[in-house]
Structure 1
């Protein structure tokens, strides 16, 4: 799948039980590492999800920061990093074709 030059090297998925935990994680990640938020949504059952993109180093740091920031607010934090995404799901995320509400489209 061809990628435009605007795509970053890595993406991360962050999932928490509760919106407050996810908000804390996202704020800490964006302030500390400069990652870009791709999408955010409530999955169901109190679970919230976000996808972020950035350089591989920024995403690695962001994952650690997200877990640390969210942990005091929830019993559940899940993170997953994809470097140079190759799986179909990761390609969808890196291309911006998310099957959830895109943050970029809400900011316009």
Structure 2
């Protein structure tokens, strides 16, 4: 999606939607992403998708999106210890870990946390 946006000169913002943060290892893993736009930037005025043949899996599943990732997430997090930290601290640490890993270029804007 990002490659096609760049080729077509379409402004696109894709952000982490579900992140698992391991406070002990100080690492974060993005489990799901979302396109940060009110209306998909690939839709024309007549609601026609301009990248229909190359659309990502999330678009192919719409509108019947099911959360079948729960079992995979449970396996992934079984060895991660829970920590008693305020939500804001966990979000900030997860953002820092994603920036260090090169997943995010910078911290998310206020209100996007």
**TM-score for both structures, normalised by structure 2:** 0.29
**TM-score for both structures, normalised by structure 1:** 0.30
Structure with bigger RCO (C-alpha 8 Å, 6+ apart): 1
Q: Which protein is bigger by CA-based radius of gyration?
A: 2
Give the structure with the larger helix fraction: 1
